[in-house]
Amino acid sequence: MKVPKLDREIGIEVYATKSQGIGGKIRLFPEDFRVEEILADGSKAQIEPDIMPQVDGRGRYLVCVLVKRNLDNILAVQAIAQRLGIDHERIHIAGIKDARALTAQHISIGRMLPEHVEKTTFNDLRLYPVRFSNEKIHSNLLFGNQFKIILRNINCSSTQIMKQMENTRNAFSELGGCPNFFGHQRFGTVRQITHLLGKQILLGNWEKASSIFLAKPSKYENPVSRQAREQLWNNQDYEEALRNFPSRLIYEREMLKHLAKRPKDFIGAFHRLPTKLRQLFIQAYQSYLFNRFLSQRIQRRLPLKGFRQGEYKLVIDDKECLAIPLIGFKQSVSTGEQGEIENEILRSEGINPQDFKITAMPKISSPGGLRTALTPLIRLIIENPVDDDVNPKRKMIRLGFTLKKGSYATIILREFMKPSSPINAGF
């Protein structure tokens, strides 16, 4: 089964299931892609709580639920900080959520009163306080996310849809889960450049990294943005680019302001970006390598359940699971046949684990780690198809499931849908 070029460009070279896809489109509206975060203690961030919680407890952090619609996490945190008149470093989150969606997640704010937060509702963003705590929100507190998704514009009969969905569900059961690939959001669907940028930073090619971030155009992005990037790509005139780049390209404009004054200080320009964003570039390249490692394992028909000598494992819910490296300066490759795959790919990329120690910008160095090869699909619910209310003569279907932290709903959906064009399918 042919894998789209956009998937291959982020290292996803295979489908794990052989069932026919139903096609269709996600995210026609942000409300079609609902995400509610679940913490390890079982508490869920609700988009529409039945009863507003009474804030209780004591502690230095105020835990709140952030509900956002069609909004990037980093921009949301910055907007909240600005509205509250505080440094964004006082705000902590457990995990990054989809931008093109309606999402609810926990955040903590240091030294904040509930009455101040309750006024923070604006531009598709609202906060409501939950409790006080002596522990800030961080990734170790996160269990996962519950998804409720509508697939629209399906050009199949209801019988075909259910048959194909069940075939894919059964394939997941046989596999023991879904391959734990990193999804398009990790790389940017419209401009899949974050991993390319991360690689150049690792190699110390700061000028090339800057050029990719600012000027590498994509045929899928807004025409005004694309034209501005193309012009900068051709002439490297940062002052002119600052005049041409639209205001919505906030991060690019921050870098351009610096380069217009200091055209050769590319490291300084990257320092104008939030630390978390810079870290994402490195993490995206780690994710790309992981996707390639896992793709090659599947292509070579090596098992995903269980593990062989020399392969890494993680203990999840008292079970030992196959794990694949997220390469970093403390994380080496596997040994055995899986190690041969990883070493072969690293050689082709011209990268070694010590490159992830970035002396010019230590804060974005990455020690690496391990990630399970499979992710469980928890409480999958598939409703019966109905007529699509916005696409005449087409069907739509609702499904819901829960994934553990770090796993991507779009990886599940691509197996059900098998889209020929991830962009057109809403990925």
Q: Is the pLDDT of residue 309 over 90?
A: no
Count of domains for the chain: 3
Same domain, 65 and 121: yes
Q: What angle do CA 14, 154, 21 make, to 5 degrees?
A: 25
Residue 127 and residue 35 share a domain: yes
pLDDT score of 306: 80
Q: In this structure, is the dihedral angle defined by the CA atoms of residues 157, 161, 162 and 164, taken in order, positive or negative? A: positive
Q: Out of 59-63, 92-96, 188-192, 229-233, pick the least confident.
A: 188-192
Q: If you search the block for the tokens 């398009």, which residue do you land on?
A: 184
The CA dihedral of 270, 271, 277, 283, to the nearest 10 degrees, is 70
Spatial contact of 308 and 373, defined as CB atoms under 8 Å apart: no
Render pLDDT for 75-111 as a digit per residue (tens, 0 to 9).
899 999 999 999 999 999 998 899 999 999 999 999 9
Tell me the pLDDT of the chain averaged across its residues: 95
Report yes or no on 3 lying in a domain. no
362 has pLDDT over 80: yes
Say if 205 falls within a structural domain. Answer: yes
Instruction: Evaluate whether 371 touches 297 at the Cβ level (below 8 Å).
Output: no
Instruction: Return the biggest CA–CA distance within the chain.
Output: 63
Average pLDDT estimate for 196-206: 98
Active site residues: 98
Does the pLDDT at position 189 exceed 80? no
What domain range is 43 assigned to?
Answer: 31-143
Together in a domain, 292 and 256: no
What is the average pLDDT across 121-138? 93
Contact 369, 326 (CB under 8 A): yes
User: Per the domain annotation, does 98 fall within a domain?
Assistant: yes
Spatial contact of 233 and 387, defined as CB atoms under 8 Å apart? no
* CATH number, residue 251: 1.10.1510.30
Model pLDDT, residue 247: 94
Among 273, 302, 322, the domain-final residue is: 273
Percentage of the residues of the chain whose pLDDT score is greater than 90:
90
- Cα gap 51→401, rounded to integer Å: 24
- What CATH number corresponds to the domain at position 290? 3.30.2350.20
pLDDT tens column, 368-427: 999 999 999 999 999 999 999 999 999 999 999 999 999 999 999 999 999 999 999 999
Say how many C-beta atoms besides its own lie within 10 A of residue 301's C-beta. Answer: 6
> In this predicted model, what pLDDT tens digit does every residue of 22-53 receive, in sequence order?
999 999 999 999 999 999 999 999 999 989 88
Q: Count how many residues are written for the chain.
A: 427
Please check whether residues 266 and 333 belong to one and the same domain.
no
Using pLDDT thresholds of 50, 70 and 90, give the confidence band for residue 119: confident
The CATH code of the domain that includes 68 is: 3.30.70.3160
Q: Which of 215, 247, 273 finishes a domain?
A: 273
Helix ranges, 176-237 (H): 194-202, 206-215, 223-235
Residue 111 and residue 60: Cα distance in Å, rounded? 6
Sign of CA dihedral 113, 119, 120, 126: positive
The alpha carbon of 24 is separated from its chain's Cα centroid by a whole number of angstroms, namely 21
Are 58 and 125 in the same domain? yes
Cβ neighbours of residue 122 closer than 8 Å, sequence gap 6 or more: 79, 83
402: in domain: no
CB 180 within 8 A of CB 375: yes
User: Within a domain: residue 311?
Assistant: yes
Residues 6+ apart with CB under 8 A from 273: 251, 254, 255
Q: Is 130 helix (H, G, I), strand (E, B) or coil?
A: strand
Check residue 388 and give its pLDDT: 97
Residue 405: inside a domain: no
303 CB-near residues (< 8 Å, 6+ apart): 322
Question: Does a structural domain hold residue 153?
Answer: no
Indicate yes or no: pTM above 0.75: yes
pLDDT at residue 57 greater than cutoff 80: no
**For residues 55-84, average pLDDT:** 92
Residue 393 region, left (φ>0) first, then alpha (ψ -120 to 50), else beta? left
pLDDT at residue 123 above 90? no
Q: Say whether both 139 and 39 belong to one domain.
A: yes
Q: Give the C-alpha distances (Å, rounded to integers) separating 38 from 41, 182, 316, 317.
A: 8, 20, 17, 17
> Which residues pair with residue 403 across a beta bridge?
145
Bin 127: left if φ > 0, else alpha if -120 < ψ < 50, else beta.
beta
- SS in 3 state form for 85-115? CCCHHHEEECCCCCCCCEEEEEEEEECCCHH
Q: How large is the average pLDDT for residues 135-152? A: 97
Scan for tokens 């900080």, then name that residue: 81
Residues 184 and 10: beta-carbon distance below 8 Å = yes
Asked if residue 64 and residue 119 are part of one domain, the reply reads yes
CA distance linking residue 294 with residue 19, whole number of Å: 20
> Sign of the CA dihedral 258, 259, 260, 264?
positive
- Quick one: 248 and 287 in the same domain? no
**In-domain check, residue 164:** no
Same domain, 96 and 119: yes
Let me know whether 58 and 131 are in one domain. Answer: yes
Domain end (from 112, 143, 174) = 143
